[in-house]
Structure 1
């Protein structure tokens, strides 16, 4: 499948010039983000997807390119490096945040919440003969109508 954004669009959002290896990684990140967008949204074609899908794909790919190892803190002096659990198991991968996933689902027309479905009885609803009315004097039930074809 074709990615929703181009490598040039991602390069325009990054603060540095990519070398050959980074360009290969960035192209893969765009493909991964596009696959995730199709999974959370719908199977859009790259040229007919909503414009916001492209923006979300670029945002996820940029997030990955900025911090490919998933770290949140890095220092050159004393070699400090830190990670956060904010991304959970997705740290170091291309991922969408919860609000981005919700936005993709809403763009696809997938909504959460309650719905309703029509319910009807299953099988034939034929009358079984003469209808009877119970009587309170202890005798036999009184026939309500005698003709099953024309009860009234």
Structure 2
């Protein structure tokens, strides 16, 4: 592991939709899914939300993140962030909330895209912007051809 990867800020993501939850991190060029599960109980129920928060607290090293981004349906994020379910040290690390409708890796990618202005120093986000710009310019150049 290079020195830049060791010192890169690490951001935590909790993606919650009715179908389940995903816990992941983003640091430098590394996007990692730490844990993913489907919901046995609908996430609208308090039991399902409590399961998400307890899993995050028990299995993940959230104190080691520079920032936390909850993503998912608004009512789920509101319930977790405002109800006291989230540990105060984690609540203080919330950078933003991302409204996503997809579960799993698709929801994780959507959350990264929506929170990219808060993650400007992350190489993964910078490279994604560069690739988008390249394709936009390539498509603009192609549309001008006869």
Same fold by TM (over 0.5)?
no
Max radius of gyration: which structure? Answer: 1
Q: Which has the higher contact order (CA 8 A, sep 6+)?
A: 2
TM-score bin (small chain): under 0.3
What TM-score comes out, normalization by structure 2 length?
0.26
